[in-house]
Amino acid sequence: MQTITLTVNGADVTATIDVRTLLVQLLRDTLNLTGTHVGCDTSQCGACTVLLDGVGVKACAVLAVQADGLEVTTVEGIGGPEHLHVMQEAFREHHGLQCGFCTPGMIMAGLDMVRRHGPVMDETTVRTELEGNICRCTGYHNIVLAIMAGARAMAAVPAAAE
Amino acid sequence: MFPFTYHRPTDLPTVHALLGGNDEAKLLAGGQTLIATLKQRLASPSDLIDLAAIPGLAGMSREGDTLVIGAMTRHADVAASPLVREALPALAALAELIGDPAVRNRGTLGGSIANNDPSADYPAACLALDATIVTDKREIPAGDFFRDLFETALEPAEVILKVIFPLGGQGAYEKFPNPASRYAMAGAFVWRGMGKVRVAITGTGQGGVFRWSEAEAALMTDFDPSALDGLWLDGDAMISDIHGTGAYRAHLAGVMTRRAVSRILALG
């Protein structure tokens, strides 16, 4: 067992865990932050994508002890039902989901795209960037629209500016 | 996962102390292969030594006519680096093709080559560019570094510090990724310069990455895809698994090589 201290969605968290605990298990099972999903558990589907020190990672491919001292942001940390983050709002507006299982990972992957590419991304860029996030409903079309719109909204860039 | 003890040392002497005499200890870099391997119980290290807190292992710099990349440099940072894009654009392009964005945000150059997965991308670049792998003990030419499937020249207690890529010439990497894993079904890194041609093939060889000497000889005579007419690898000597037969991979490797040659010709 090892005691780690990290920041999760802005709050300091101290947990004593088996070193084999994955970051996604810490989030879901210990901290009850079940917005981060486990789809494949083989780091292919991207449903567990969170931000680690602001960078998109698959939480099933990171040990919780590796996050010791770092800052984790999950889908719960960016906005809630009362105050949706503009990226979440874009998914609602464009219906960027069907069953919704992959949605948390899609939203967090979208934020990581904005970090690297800025607010104005073309469709090809977003589709290429989504290679690590799988939607089994095959609802990619609206997901791509939502990420493009959410990205623009993050910088309040009008769509016409494209 | 089988049980292990986790360490996150903050200096190399402590890494050596932890590795010393313990063949069951493993180094952890980005973890994008190792953690999956642990989860599948395909490895059972006694100790996991995380290199994340060792200073000076990440970063890129131009030193004379070489590009030096630290072992803990993430794929995403190599792909996005203006320095690498300018000095060695084929390497930046290769880094951009590894895994997916989240994997590239964690995975490292040192981790990739130390593992020597037969389908990894970086080994092909190291071999084709005649890179030098610098460890805490010595400098190893890439040609001597990649030994066999998941096997390198590294000794148990040896730590990769950085990789030195010579600059000059022109290179291109072409890859056919497995649609699910993004690992190379076949990848070809072709380089030409100073009257030489090097062709490194990954994803297909039963012993891991290798130089395709017949293709190199043909391209030395005439650097054009047509110089490879009729030249293919032996499918019986290639990896054959549920993703594709050896013959399929041999063909793909040939196609990727031809495309890489065309890409270099298009550079002018």
- Tens of pLDDT, residues A87-115: 999 999 999 999 999 999 999 999 999 99
Does A26 share its domain with A63?
Answer: yes
Number of C-beta neighbours around residue B134 at 10 A: 17
Q: Tell me which residue range forms the domain holding A70.
A: 2-78
pLDDT (0 to 100) of residue A162: 40
Question: Among A78, A108, A123, which residue terminates a domain?
Answer: A78
Please tell me which of the candidates B5, B48, B102 has its beta carbon nearest to residue A46.
B102
State pLDDT tens for residues B112-161: 999 999 999 999 999 999 999 999 999 999 999 999 999 999 998 999 99
Instruction: Number of A to B CB contacts under 8 A, please give it.
Output: 75
Task: Chain A: give the shortest CA distance to residue B130, in Å.
Answer: 31
Pair (A55, A99) in one structural domain: no
| Tokens matching residue A12 | 């300091």
Beta strands in B58-110 (DSSP E): 60-63, 66-70
Say which CATH class B170-263 falls into: alpha beta
Angle between helices A140-154 and A103-117 (to 10 degrees): 50
How many alpha carbons lie under 13 Å from residue B96 in its C-beta half-sphere?
A: 17
Which residues in chain A have Cβ-Cβ distances shorter than 8 Å to B80?
116
Q: Which residues of chain A have pLDDT under 70?
A: 157-162
Residue B268's pLDDT is 83
Confidence of residue B179 (pLDDT cuts 50, 70, 90): confident
| Chain A residues closer than 8 Å to B4 by CB | 19-20
* Architecture of the domain defined by B1-48: 2-Layer Sandwich (3.30)
Q: Is B243 on the interface with A (CB under 8 A)?
A: no
Beta strand pairing call for B5-7 and A11-17? unpaired
For chain A, how many structural domains are there in total?
A: 2
Domain stop point among A53, A78, A103: A78
Alpha helices in chain A (DSSP H): 23-25, 75-78, 86-93, 103-117, 123-129, 140-154
What ipTM was estimated for this complex? 0.94
For residue range B58-82, list pLDDT tens digits in order: 999 999 999 999 999 999 999 999 9
**Considering only CB atoms, which chain B residues are within 8 Å of A2?**
6
The reply to whether A160 falls in a domain is no
- Do residue A37 and residue A98 come from a single domain? no
CATH number at residue A69: 3.10.20.30
